[in-house]
Amino acid sequence: MTLDERFKLSLSRLENAEDIDALGLKTDKKGKRIADYLLFGREAILELKTLVEDAEHKVEATLDPHRSREDFPVFYGKVELDKILAYLPDGKDINEQVYGRVTRSIQKAFKSANGQIIATRTALGLDRSMGVLTILNENVDIFSPDIIAAKVSEMLTRKNEDGSYVYSQIASVVVISENHLVKLENGNPAKSIIVIDGPYADRFPNAGAITDAIMTSWATFNDAPLVKSSIKEVKELDFFTTSARKQEQEAIPLHEFWRRSYHKTPYLRGYTKEGLLAYGRQLIATIAPTMMVGGKRVSPDNTQKLMQQFGDFVEEMKQRGIDMREVQFSDGGSKEKK
């Protein structure tokens, strides 16, 4: 079953839950679509939205026009976007463009859900019911829970020119991401479920009880305990994709083994930036002659050792977000540690 199907099944087990489709209602009298569920004796109107678009191509499309720039940095392998943009004077503007394009589907979900909750109120005469939007992410890696949460918070607090809230029908949002795990405070991984209350949530005395019941129902359906974190800011949580965890458990090539080994003992972390660059230049100077026809001959063991050292150097450069071109163009520096 899909995440959408499983979550609907968990909702059906809640007391007084009503599937609006089962009531034979799909639109109001004006033909406008209505929401998915009524919960807790119709105290809550819930609309489900599933994120299905992989927006990574939007990131690439935004970055492509800038790749030919002289100041566009060079890295080996995958690097976080913020480390690339840190080198560009207009990096903040580019980042806002990327964020806007990537999260556009979340904005569309808000607009649609807000309208559907209004239509449901009108069709069923539910003026006092709380509006809840649930966002499901089953397999879109780029939508990490912290990115979704940031956009949700932005949407909940967006205002019209007259000072009223644009999405006033949505009191709270529940975010469930199955393709991301969060590291708990005890170090164990767990699936995440995040509740974000909007400015109008406090108008509903049972708002907390309603969202708690939704979370508890989902945890029970998955035969898992509901563990609440003491961390208040989503950005402080440590998320990672389930695909990354799966890769850790599979057989890996040698270069990936080296990369993971370096992360366990990052021996270059203590070098200053200039010290690290000097180390890299010396390492490249040692390796280069061994790669040339008729060049210096070294044993297979020494070759492997040099390759591992170079891989460690590249990984440290990536972690710090240092442009690889600085290895060539820097004026030097000591190899002294901090």
Model pTM score: 0.67
Q: Which two tokens stand for residue 270?
A: 């203590």
Q: Which two tokens stand for residue 141?
A: 């890696």
- For residue 112, give the nearest of 169, 178, 171 by alpha carbon: 169
- Cα Rg of the chain, angstroms: 26
Q: Cβ neighbours of residue 265 under 8 Å, at least 6 residues apart?
A: none
Beta bridge partners of 176: 136, 193
- Per-residue model confidence (pLDDT) at position 330: 46
SS3 316: helix
Q: Whose structure tokens read 């509740």?
A: 195
Give the integer Cα–Cα distance in Å for 156 and 169.
10
Angle between helices 104-124 and 91-102 (to 10 degrees): 40
- Per-residue model confidence (pLDDT) at position 283: 92
How many residues are recorded in the chain? Answer: 338
Phi, psi (degrees; rounded to nearest 5) at 301: -65, -45
Structural domain spans, the chain: 3-54+103-246, 56-100, 251-329
Tens of pLDDT along the chain (338 residues)?
899 999 999 999 998 899 998 888 877 778 889 999 999 999 999 999 998 866 677 777 778 888 888 888 776 666 556 666 777 788 788 777 877 887 889 999 999 999 999 999 999 999 999 999 999 998 887 788 888 898 999 999 999 999 999 999 999 999 998 888 887 777 777 788 899 999 999 999 999 999 999 999 999 999 988 888 766 677 667 666 665 555 555 567 888 888 888 988 999 999 999 999 999 999 999 998 887 777 777 787 888 899 999 999 999 998 898 988 888 744 444 444 44
- Per-residue model confidence (pLDDT) at position 66: 81
Give the integer Cα–Cα distance in Å for 144 and 60.
17
Which H or E element spans position 212?
A: helix 207-221
Contact call for residues 37 and 20 (beta carbons, < 8 A): yes
Instruction: Report the half-sphere exposure of 16 (CA within 13 A, side-chain side).
Output: 10
Beta bridge partners of 193: 176
Contact call for residues 312 and 258 (beta carbons, < 8 A): yes
Contact call for residues 130 and 45 (beta carbons, < 8 A): yes
User: What is the CA 226 to chain-centroid distance, rounded?
Assistant: 21
